[in-house]
């Protein structure tokens, strides 16, 4: 086990311990040894959610000034995520031909996720960040281009990056 693996394992254990400790502290039954096990918690007080009706539908499709930008960039992030998984699988076989593609797909996925989130929030920063991500997506396009004839996932990522670039340039 190297230092990085140890650090990850320790961080995971610390997170689990913190979560388990919080859950135990929130349950007053854990403070008494004679408390019955499996006793149901009292029902929470009823809260009027009538003002929120219809928000579930809004969560599935972005609304607002930058809804189209959010959709295009979320799709690009999703295609880049698929590309990342594909590249990792190919690299795991010893084939290093998609190494550069993996690097640019990681950058693309990160930036597209950020733009999509800002666009969903109707942030005034979304258009500027979208325009700033064009070089990242162009790098992804350039790296994917040699692979689009051989890998459908690379073609999907390529097409999504093209769409996102067009969306960024039109805003």
- 84 contacts 127 by C-beta, under 8 angstroms: no
The pLDDT of residue 128: 94
Interaxial angle between packed helices 152-170 and 134-144, expressed in degrees from 0 to 180 and rounded to the nearest 10: 150
Torsion angle, alpha carbons of 12, 13, 19, 24, to 10:
170
The pLDDT of residue 115: 95
The pLDDT of residue 56: 47
The pLDDT of residue 79: 94
* Per-residue pLDDT in tens (0 to 9) along the chain, 171 residues: 555 554 455 445 444 444 444 444 444 444 444 545 555 555 555 656 555 555 444 445 556 889 999 999 999 999 999 999 998 998 899 988 888 889 999 999 999 999 999 999 999 999 999 999 999 999 998 998 988 888 899 899 999 999 999 999 998
State the Cα–Cα distance between residues 141 and 153, nearest whole angstrom. 13
- 84 contacts 105 by C-beta, under 8 angstroms: yes
């Amino acid at each position: 086990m190297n230092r990085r693996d140890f650090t990850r394992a320790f961080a995971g254990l610390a997170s689990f311990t913190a979560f388990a400790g919080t859950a135990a502290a929130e349950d007053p039954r854990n403070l008494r040894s004679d408390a019955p096990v499996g006793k149901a918690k009292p029902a929470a007080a009823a809260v009027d959610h009538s003002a929120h009706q219809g928000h579930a539908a809004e969560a599935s499709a972005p609304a607002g000034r930058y809804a189209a930008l959010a959709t295009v960039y979320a799709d690009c992030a999703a295609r880049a995520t698929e590309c990342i998984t594909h590249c990792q699988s190919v690299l795991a076989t010893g084939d290093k031909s998609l190494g550069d593609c993996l690097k640019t797909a990681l950058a693309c996925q990160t930036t597209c996720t950020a733009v999509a989130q800002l666009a969903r929030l109707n942030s005034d920063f979304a258009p500027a960040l979208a325009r700033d991500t064009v070089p990242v997506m162009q790098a992804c396009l350039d790296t994917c281009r040699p692979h689009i004839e051989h890998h459908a996932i690379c073609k999907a990522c390529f097409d999504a990056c093209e769409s996102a670039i067009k969306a960024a340039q039109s805003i």
